[in-house]
Amino acid sequence: MKIVEIPSFFPPYGGEFCLEQSKALAALGHDVTILANVQLAVRRGLFTYLLTPYKRRWVTVDGIQVYRSDMRGIPLCVRPNVKRWVNIVRSMFNTYVHINGKPDIIHAHCAKWAGYAAYQISKEYGIPFVITEHLPSMIYKAEFGTDLTKVWQIPLLKETYKSSDMVIPVAAELVDDISCYFGKDYRWIEISNTIDTDFFAYKERKPLKGRRYRFCCLANFIPRKGYDVLFRAFELLATHNANVELYIAGKDTKGPSCMAMLGSSNQIIACGELDKKGVRDLLYNSDCLVLASRSEAQPLVLLEAMCTGIPVISTDCIPQSIKKLSGCTVTKIDDAVQLSEAMLKRCSDDNISSKMISSEVVNMVSQEAVGLKLEQVFKNIISSHG
């Protein structure tokens, strides 16, 4: 198949999930091209905004052909920015077709606005399009507010969902989660994001004898991630078992607000923001990952941790597809007591099958597993279009 991928976001502003799924499809022998129109924002970095090249360019990223444009967003002009962004994507698609011919299918990541652009292209060219949806309602709530009658984006996105050949939420719970904005009048099938299971491969851990049991938390220091609950739970845990420690990593975990919250504890170590290798190193040197989030769409860090062979503890805001894995323990949101009890039980439990924990995740979210699921959906859609 000839597949065009359109991300709503792309590095340096996220969007790695698009690249990973593109690699999964390319590994199965498909011809995959990403059309990435990146909206640069002054507030996210003046240096990048001013000095990034203006011309569209073809680049290769991890073996995937990417046609990239960097669009300067106009501050506080959301609607004009959206219109211009969509028009640029359509122009990029025209260039792609001129060079490569028409693709068999368009795969957009997030209805807002890659899905909408794919919908416009589909109407013009008669090419089927699908949307992998990653965004939870909390993202829309921050942008749309409470008076939805005045939100111009909703009718456009609702029509996009309804017109798509398939919506692919990364977690089934997203369908209900965003239904308050877009309803459910569309076809959908759940397919998880993929993780790099080769990079986060299984590794045997050191014996516990002579060392502390190490918990870790990989999350940015923001209220949604529940660090206040985690610190309280760890404090309770330490009163029952002093031979434990907690390593935290993520943006602002070494910032003043985080430092003030964790106090003078010598059992909590802040690592700050880590790169991909740093994340893996921390996981390889930990015995369990804990996430006290108040809301999540699909926290890939849980899957990455289990892929390396350690169990995880999380709150019940995570998708059912993760909850059902044998390495996952679930507690109530904002319940420090229950979280501490789960942590205490985990660090005294010797009946952990680390290899089974890892293999379950590989079977669910490896590049091959996700690629094959996407491939089958795409083939069925293309076949139905004759």
- Give the model's pLDDT for residue 75: 85
- Give the model's pLDDT for residue 366: 96
Alpha-carbon gap, residue 24 to 191, rounded angstroms? 13
Which positions ≥6 away from 239 have C-beta within 8 Å?
Answer: none
Domain extents for the chain? 2-194+366-384, 213-364
Cα Rg of the chain (Å, integer): 22
Contact assessment for residue 309 and residue 202, using Cβ atoms and an 8 Å cutoff: yes
Superfamily name and number for 213-364: Glycogen Phosphorylase B; (3.40.50.2000)
Local confidence pLDDT in tens for the 386 residues of the chain: 999 999 999 988 888 899 999 999 999 999 999 999 998 877 667 767 777 777 899 999 999 999 999 988 888 889 999 999 999 999 999 999 999 999 999 999 999 999 999 999 999 999 999 999 999 998 898 889 888 988 999 999 999 999 999 999 999 999 999 999 999 999 999 999 999 999 999 999 988 888 999 999 999 999 999 999 999 999 999 999 999 999 999 999 999 999 999 887 889 999 999 999 999 999 999 999 999 999 887 899 999 999 999 999 999 999 999 999 999 999 999 999 999 999 999 998 877 789 999 999 999 999 999 999 999 999 999 999 87
What angle separates helix 137-144 from helix 153-163, to the nearest 10 degrees? 150
Q: Six-digit token pair at 201?
A: 């491969």
How confident is the model over 45-54, as pLDDT tens digits? 776 777 777 7
Contact assessment for residue 36 and residue 43, using Cβ atoms and an 8 Å cutoff: no
Q: Six-digit token pair at 76?
A: 């506080």
Superfamily name and number for 2-194+366-384: Glycogen Phosphorylase B; (3.40.50.2000)
Alpha-carbon gap, residue 286 to 108, rounded angstroms? 36
- Give the model's pLDDT for residue 295: 87
How confident is the model over 223-273, as pLDDT tens digits? 999 999 999 999 999 999 999 999 999 999 999 999 999 887 889 999 999
Contact assessment for residue 292 and residue 226, using Cβ atoms and an 8 Å cutoff: yes
Same fold, 2-194+366-384 and 213-364: yes
Please state whether beta strands 57-61 and 64-72 pair in parallel, antiparallel, or not at all (unpaired).
antiparallel
Helix count and strand count (H, E) for the chain:
16, 13
Stated pTM of the model? 0.89
